[in-house]
A = this chain, B = another copy of it.
Amino acid sequence: MTVELVDGLSAEEFKLAFRHHPAGVAVITADAGHGPVGLTASSVFSVSADPAVLVFSVSGSSSSAPTLNAADTVVVHLLLSDHIDIAKLCATSGINRFEDTTIWDRLPTGEPYFKNAQARIRGRVINKMPIGDSTVFAVHALEADIPDEDPASNPLVYHNRSWHHLGDHSRL
């Protein structure tokens, strides 16, 4: 950031405001040549359909940040509530998130991915916007693996430090 940011909200007030803002849950994986990383993110959204571009943000304090900053390509998994174990796995610090080799594999192009988690999008990092200690990544979607099931079924949502799922029970 070239501008110095003064007189802004405190971190406490800002976090309190965003406790009112839920988000879909994604897991982002990559390997820049030094082993796989996986990160649970509630910051993925679609910016443009043509070209097909999504964004997400990564905190500089995340253990996955060095690999994601070095990676040319990433895999973004958009999670259903069935995949909550993978969301929790990739949100837990101080563990080897890839220890159980039965749950992940590599795409023909080399990127690690969780076999059971869809929809899944492989994409190329095309731009980055640094903000404080964090970075917003823009990713051009190259390939997708989309489940056959109804997309209305049971997506995972993170809100106010709790996990939720959507379905007919939550529809307005």
Q: What chain B residues lie within 8 Å of A14 (beta carbons)?
A: 46, 49, 52, 121, 141, 144
Name the residue on B nearest A5 (C-beta).
B51
| A170 and B170 contact, CB distance less than 8 A | yes
Q: What chain B residues lie within 8 Å of A8 (beta carbons)?
A: 51-52, 140-142
Q: What chain B residues lie within 8 Å of A147 (beta carbons)?
A: 20
A151 touching B81 in the complex, CB below 8 Å, given contacts A9-B144, A170-B166: no
With an 8 Å Cβ cutoff, the count of chain A residues facing the other chain is: 76
Q: What chain B residues lie within 8 Å of A160 (beta carbons)?
A: 151-152
Cβ-neighbour of A172 out of B43, B53, B84, B152 (below 8 A): B84
**Interface stretch among A29-37, A106-114, A131-139?**
A131-139
| A17 and B163 contact, CB distance less than 8 A | no
| A43 and B45 contact, CB distance less than 8 A | yes
A–B pairs, 24, beta carbons within 8 Å? A1-B127, A3-B126, A8-B140, A9-B52, A9-B143, A10-B52, A11-B49, A13-B52, A14-B121, A16-B151, A17-B141, A17-B144, A17-B146, A19-B151, A47-B131, A47-B132, A53-B134, A84-B172, A152-B159, A155-B159, A164-B170, A164-B172, A165-B170, A170-B170
Instruction: Give me the interface of A with B, judged by CB distance under 8 Å.
Output: 1, 3, 5, 7-11, 13-24, 26, 42-55, 57, 59, 78, 80-81, 84, 118-119, 121, 126-127, 129, 131-134, 136, 138, 140-144, 146-147, 151-152, 155-157, 159-160, 162-166, 169-172
